[in-house]
């Protein structure tokens, strides 16, 4: 049995794109392109880890369409259902092993994401025993949800909670609040999250869940204890001004 991590108390793990495959980015990109828009890092940044209606407004601007946010959201959900018919939701390789490792290192855990709990129950119900407190937190009303999960739900200091997410906007908020973070950008070939995280200076970015091993977690724990986990890159606004956001 490994020695528990001495500093971190909780791991908050994003559901879609981290534990489950990303079934959102391909649909969003196709919808943007079909309506004459460009799928740039700016567009992706404006859409990801936002509430559904905020993302719909950003989509309307990117694609220059006249539909209302609710009409766009309804259309998106229809398009995603068609996508799921040939690319179903699945648990990513290494997800169960990662949860077992986090538990073995003494961490409490919670899962979070923008869809309601039925999504969690349907696809991760067989792993629900790993999670504590509410088990799953829907963050659609308070994106990206770091403050609410850390301070309101679990009532912990920011440096005691590790967030694992696939979206650069969440990494940006983690930096602002002083929260340890590991980025696991998705595998979508047209996605921009990996390059955005790198340009933001996110220190720990992995390509697969199996890269989040005990050594990395102990490194993050030590950095959190010493207060040295903050990245050294620029916030997204700085990247946009320099033109680096369009990658």
Question: What does the pLDDT look like over 101-149, one tens digit per residue?
Answer: 999 999 999 999 999 999 999 999 999 999 999 999 999 999 999 999 9
Domain of 65, CATH number, reads 1.10.150.240
d(CA 18, CA 176) in angstroms, rounded, equals 22
The answer to whether 204 and 184 are in contact (CB under 8 A) is no
So what's the pLDDT on residue 241? 37
Mean pLDDT across the stretch 30-58? Answer: 87
Residue 105 CA, chain-centre distance (Å), reads: 22
Listed range (20-34, 144-158, 167-181, 221-235) with the worst mean pLDDT: 221-235
Q: Which helix (DSSP H) or strand (DSSP E) does residue 108 occupy?
A: strand 108-113
pLDDT level of residue 235 (50, 70, 90 thresholds): low
d(CA 31, CA 25) in angstroms, rounded, equals 10
So what's the pLDDT on residue 214? 99
pLDDT level of residue 246 (50, 70, 90 thresholds): very low
User: Can you read off the two tokens belonging to residue 132?
Assistant: 């504590």
The per-residue pLDDT of the chain, averaged, comes to 91
So what's the pLDDT on residue 234? 56
Same domain? For 134 and 163 the reply is yes
Overall number of domains in the chain: 2
Above 80 in pLDDT, residue 233?
no
Identify whether 2 is part of a domain.
no
Question: Range of 203's domain?
Answer: 10-22+90-242
Domain of 164, CATH number, reads 3.40.50.1000
User: Can you read off the two tokens belonging to residue 56?
Assistant: 């719909």
d(CA 12, CA 21) in angstroms, rounded, equals 17
Same domain? For 100 and 54 the reply is no
Q: Flag whether the pTM goes above 0.75.
A: yes
**Exposed/middle/buried for residue 213 (C-beta within 10 Å: 0-12, 13-18, 19+):** middle
Same domain? For 95 and 155 the reply is yes
Mean pLDDT across the stretch 186-206? Answer: 93
Same domain? For 143 and 227 the reply is yes
Same domain? For 106 and 76 the reply is no
How many distinct helices (H) and strands (E) make up the chain? 11, 5
Q: Look at 231 and 205; give whichever has higher pLDDT.
A: 205
Identify whether 3 is part of a domain.
no
């Amino acid at each position: 049995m490994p020695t528990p991590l001495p500093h971190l108390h909780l791991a908050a793990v994003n559901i879609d794109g981290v534990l489950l495959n990303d079934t959102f980015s391909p649909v969003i990109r196709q919808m943007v392109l079909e309506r004459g828009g460009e799928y740039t890092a700016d567009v992706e940044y404006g859409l990801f880890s936002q509430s559904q209606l905020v993302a719909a407004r950003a989509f309307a601007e990117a694609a220059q369409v006249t539909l209302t946010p609710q009409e766009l959201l309804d259309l998106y959900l229809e398009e995603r259902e068609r996508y799921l018919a040939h690319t179903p939701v699945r648990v990513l390789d290494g997800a169960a092993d990662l949860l077992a490792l986090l538990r073995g290192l003494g961490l409490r855990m919670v899962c979070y994401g923008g869809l309601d709990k039925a999504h969690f129950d349907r696809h991760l119900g067989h792993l629900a025993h790993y999670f504590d407190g509410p088990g799953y937190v829907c963050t659609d009303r308070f994106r990206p949800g770091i403050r609410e999960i850390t301070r309101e739900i679990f009532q912990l200091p920011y440096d005691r909670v590790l967030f694992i997410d696939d979206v650069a906007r969440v990494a940006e908020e983690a930096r602002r609040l002083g929260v340890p973070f590991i980025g696991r950008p998705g595998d979508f070939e047209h996605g921009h999250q990996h390059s955005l995280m790198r340009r933001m200076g996110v220190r720990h970015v992995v390509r697969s869940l199996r890269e989040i091993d005990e050594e990395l977690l102990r490194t993050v724990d030590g950095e959190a204890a010493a207060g040295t986990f903050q990245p050294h890159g620029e916030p997204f606004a700085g990247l946009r001004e320099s033109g680096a956001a369009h990658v």
